[in-house]
Amino acid sequence: MTIRVQNLEEKDEKTVTMLRKSLDTITMERDAAFISREDMVAQLRLTKRRLQEAEEEQYKAEEDAAALRAEIKLLQASEDQSESLGAVAEQLRVAEQHNNDLQKELQEVMLRLQQEQQRVSMERQRSANISAINEDLQNELVILNTKLAEMEESKKTRSSVTVPFTESALADSATSTGGLASETKLLSDEIAKEEKAALETKLRELADMVERQENGRQLLLAEIDKQSLEIERLFVENEGLRASVKQTTEIAARWEAQVQDCLLQNNALRVLLNRLRLEQSSTIPFSEIGTSGAEVHVEDGGSDNKSASENWPAERTKLKIELAEALGRSEELSAQMAQQSADLTRAVQALTSLSSLYKPVLSSIENRLMQIRQEAPDIINADI
């Protein structure tokens, strides 16, 4: 018996030891799982940070790419000689198109505002009708309560009237009168309760309807205020665009007039100068030719010197003509350089006007990107 007890105790001790070991193992595994979870959370945070940094780098790269594209377009526009005025005209066309789009949008907003105002007026009319119905029902309820009070008073007065009867007749009449009064009272109470319940139900429905109409009216008023602010913003933006378009048109007109005048004057002066040079180069000074021919004849006295003296005026005339042509080409190149300088100035002016035109759009895009950047960590946390 003692041996069996000892065996049972040993088994219990072994079981307890095994349970303790398994408990320690479970505790260690739990700690390891907790540590691994902390590591995963840290890695997830690091991944979020890297993702945010990558998004910021992507935004910066996109901004740099946009800036580089703008610079490339500016350089291409400055290098393009024949399309500078076309770029200004294209800018004016884009600005006018944008202005027309804004005007169309403004008209649509005004139309929506008129529709909302009509809806508000209709809702107000319905609210007034419901209020009138509510007042009528309240008046009816007051009338019914008055009628019930009058009926109760009439019952009390009828019950208080005493008529001399005999004892048996008095007992019979009292019994019949009490039953009739109780039945009348029960019937009137039931009718009053039913009417009161129906009226209360209708009043609750009307109150709920009035509350819904009031909430809808508040929403409509808030929407109207929002649309009014949007209309004011569109008006301000439209005025700014109109002023910028007018300024750009005036600048373009002045530039075009100045360029046309300069081109006409330059062409006239170039033609006149080339004509004078050609006339001067084609005119041969005969005295100079005779003197040079006589000197050469006296010194050499040969036929070769005579032929050289005869060819010298022709070569000199040819050289003068070539010099005049070279000077004409040089002046043409100078005119082209001036034209390119004017085109560059015009392109800079167009870039300035474009930057002033699209700066609000870029600022709104930047604000949207900042909002998306701020909402991205919240979305990631919500997903986790």
Is residue 203 situated within a structural domain?
yes
Please state the separation of Cα 193 from the chain's center in Å: 60
pLDDT computed for residue 230 by the predictor: 78
pLDDT of residue 147: 66
pTM recorded for the entire structure: 0.29
- 55 located within any domain: no
pLDDT of residue 351: 74
Q: What is the model's pLDDT at position 298?
A: 42
DSSP 83: T
pLDDT confidence of residue 110: 66
Number of neighbours of residue 77 by Cβ within 10 angstroms: 20
DSSP 313-350: HHHHHHHHHHHHHHHHHHHHHHHHHHHHHHHHHHHHHH
Residue 340 makes CB contacts below 8 A (sequence gap 6+) with 78, 81
Q: Does residue 240 belong to any structural domain of this protein?
A: yes
Secondary structure (DSSP) of 8-39? HHHHHHHHHHHHHHHHHHHHHHHHHHHHHHHH
User: Rounded distance, CA 213 to CA 202, Å?
Assistant: 16
Number of domains within the chain: 1
Flag whether 7 is in a domain: no
Asked whether residue 279 is assigned to any structural domain, the reply reads: yes
pLDDT, tens digit only, all 384 positions of the chain = 567 667 777 776 777 677 667 677 777 777 777 787 777 777 777 777 777 776 777 677 677 666 666 666 665 565 554 455 555 556 656 666 766 676 676 677 667 767 766 776 776 777 677 667 667 766 766 676 676 667 667 666 655 544 444 444 445 544 555 555 566 667 667 777 777 777 777 778 877 877 887 787 788 788 778 877 877 887 787 787 778 778 877 887 887 788 778 778 877 887 787 777 777 766 645 444 444 444 444 444 445 555 655 677 677 777 777 777 777 777 777 777 877 777 777 777 777 766 666 666 666 667 767 776 776 555 445 444
- Within a domain: residue 362? yes
Distance between CA atoms of residues 367 and 104, nearest Å: 25
Does 21 reside within a domain? Answer: no
The predicted pLDDT at position 349 comes to: 73
End-to-end distance of the chain based on CA atoms, in angstroms? 62
State residue 295's pLDDT score: 45
Residue among 163, 159, 139 at smallest CA distance from 151:
159
Q: Please indicate, yes or no, if residue 15 is contained in any of the structural domains.
A: no
pLDDT of the residue at 214:
79
Domain that holds residue 270: 80-383
Residue 353's Cβ-count burial label (10 Å; 0-12, 13-18, 19+) is buried
Contacts of 115 (CB under 8 A, 6+ apart): none
